[in-house]
Amino acid sequence: MMTHKQRMLNAYKNLLTDVVPAAPEFWFFYPAKVMKYKLDDFQREIPLWKGLLECFRAFDCEGWGCVGPEILNEHVKVTSEYKTLDEQRSRDTQTITVGGKEFIRTSVYSKTQPFWPEKFPIKNNPDDIKLFFDANVNDDVSFDFSEASRAYEEIGEDYLCEFDLGFSFFDYFVQFMGFQPAVYYFMEEEEEVLDDMLQRYTEFQKRLLQKAVESTKFESYFIGCDSSCNSLFGPTMWRRWDKPYQMEIVKEAHRLDKLVHAHNHGKIKDTILDLVQIGYDCVCPFERPPGDLVGKEGLVIARDGLQDKVTFNGNVHTIKMMINGTPEDVRAQVREIKEVFKGSNRLIIGTGDQVGWETPEENLYAMIDEAHKR
């Protein structure tokens, strides 16, 4: 019998496992439910890795999660004020001081939904963008890995804990601008300016990767996805600005004998071959609609495109099957995925997005059990 973590790593490495790993994407909803927290309290009080640990232990299945470093930056000061809006919502107001100038970010926390950004600190203002970028991407920034290492040790073999490298290049701007202003900025700014930022950001992130490898024991490294995907940013812009960054990070990680897992929501057919060129070890979640992998035909496109060089994780429909389907519906979809990938070690049965709080437990157990069937 392999451990849950071993099964995930074997799938990433194209090695034989005893059973196909089953990795529902537990994120906020179900860990909060398992721990009996309202979502606002869970997100503010419980480290996500710890909530995931409780959830994966409860369902005795495979899975993944990520933890990042504490960033130490003397150039940026952040203060926060948390106020109740009504019985269901609260607002967190952050005052961010950079170069003597104050910026405001607000986020809304809800008892029933994950928090969402309400106001971003920067609009499409090139001077402010440069100020923010220069203050956050420089050699003075350092990293504390102590909490990440503690999480890794406590999780042990219960699930695959990955080191969080944060976002790709475009998403780095989205986090303090929002999607639409960031798109306009990338369309309007001179390419020479963006190319310089891309090079500096890539080197900064490679330094983070190198320091993490020196200081921790993580086997796998994670690149997240907010808007850097076909459904929002589009293949053309993604190839111009994000793919070069991802290729450099994966190349450096592999040089250091580490694995890389990428998150990519929405449509993916147009860039499946790019994932192989980048050299990812695993990508998730290869969604059915609103993604573009529809039924068995979509699965065949994915398998043929990945050429057994990148591990496929995901594809069980989060709403149609996991929330609204029956256990037998879920089992049938899992069987369909396993049949298309029969004979491949590069398969993890996962959900298309995070498991909703209203998902029946029997559907989760059906997904896990069917994946584990030999």
Q: Is 135 within 8 Å of 98 (Cβ atoms)?
A: yes
Query: Mean pLDDT throughout 126-155?
Result: 97
What tokens does 248 get?
């450099």
pLDDT tens-digit map of 182-206:
999 999 999 999 999 999 999 999 9
Check residue 294 and give its pLDDT. 86
**HSE value, Cβ hemisphere, 13 Å, CA-based, for 315:** 33
pTM for this entry: 0.96
User: What is the arithmetic mean of pLDDT over 208-221?
Assistant: 98
> What pLDDT does residue 38 have?
96
Across 271-297, average pLDDT: 94
Among candidates 96, 72, 78, which has minimal Cα distance to 147?
72
Distance CA 302, CA 294 (A): 10
What pLDDT was estimated at residue 1? Answer: 84
Contacts of residue 202, defined as CB under 8 A and 6 or more positions apart, other chains included, come to: 169, 244, 245, 248, 249
Mean pLDDT of 73-99: 96
Alpha-carbon span 326 to 331, nearest angstrom: 9
Q: Which two tokens stand for residue 12?
A: 């990433």
Summarize the confidence of residues 155-181 as an average pLDDT: 96
How far apart are alpha carbons 243 and 186 in whole angstroms?
15
Q: What angle do CA 73, 74, 78 make, to 5 degrees?
A: 75
Instruction: Tell me phi and psi for residue 311, to 5 degrees.
Output: -75, 135
| Mean pLDDT calculated for residue range 90-111 | 96
Q: What is the CATH number of domain 4-73+123-372?
A: 3.20.20.210
121 φ/ψ sector (left φ>0, alpha ψ -120 to 50, else beta): alpha
Residue 119 has pLDDT above 90, yes or no: yes
Domain boundaries, the chain: 4-73+123-372
pLDDT at 225: 87
